[in-house]
Amino acid sequence: MGFMNNESVLKVGLGAEVSELVTGKNTAVALGSGTLDVYATPAMVALMEKASLTAVAAALPEGCSTVGALINIKHSSASPLGAGIRAEAVLREVDGKRLVFDVRAFDGDGPIGEGVHERFIINNEKFMSKANAKSKQ
C-alpha cells in the first residue's frame, strides 16, 4: 500500500473545518451523555473526528481511509439549542500510518473544546474483511 510514500502528500498543517447546529438530535439528553438540552460531548467528539478525516481524505491512496483510534479532549463550555458549532482539525504529525491532529471546537461565543485526536490509515477492504470476520466466529 505504500503509506510511507504518502508522507509527501500527507503534510503537517493539512486542516479542515466542519460545522453543525445544536438540535434535539445532538444534545446530551438525546445521546444519553447527560440530562440537559445542551450540545453533547459525544457530538463534539464526532464533529472533531469529521474535521480530522476531512483534512486528509483527498491525500489518501485509492481504497484507503482513516479510522479514529484515540481522542483526548476537554469540553469546556456548554452550547444551547440553536447554537452553531464549528470544529477544526490540523494535522500535526505523520508517523507512517498514524496521523495526529490538534482539534478545537467553537460556538458563537468562542471556544468550547480542544484536544488531540489520532487516526490510522487503513485499506478499506482489508479493514472490513477483518471486522466482518469477527461476527462469524
Domain ranges of the chain: 3-134
Task: Provide the pLDDT confidence category of residue 8 given band limits of 50, 70 and 90.
Answer: low
- CATH 3.20.20.300 for domain 3-134: no
102 contact partners, CB below 8 Å, separation of at least 6? 89, 90, 92, 114, 115, 116
Handedness of CA 72, 91, 78, 46 (dihedral sign): negative
Pairing of strands 110-123, 15-21: unpaired
Q: 26 with 43: CB under 8 angstroms?
A: yes
Task: Read off the C-alpha cell for 56.
Answer: 486528509
What are the tens digits of pLDDT across the range 28-85?
A: 999 999 999 999 999 999 999 999 999 999 999 999 999 999 999 999 999 999 999 9
Choose among 48, 61, 64: nearest CA to 15: 48
Q: What is the pTM of this model?
A: 0.92
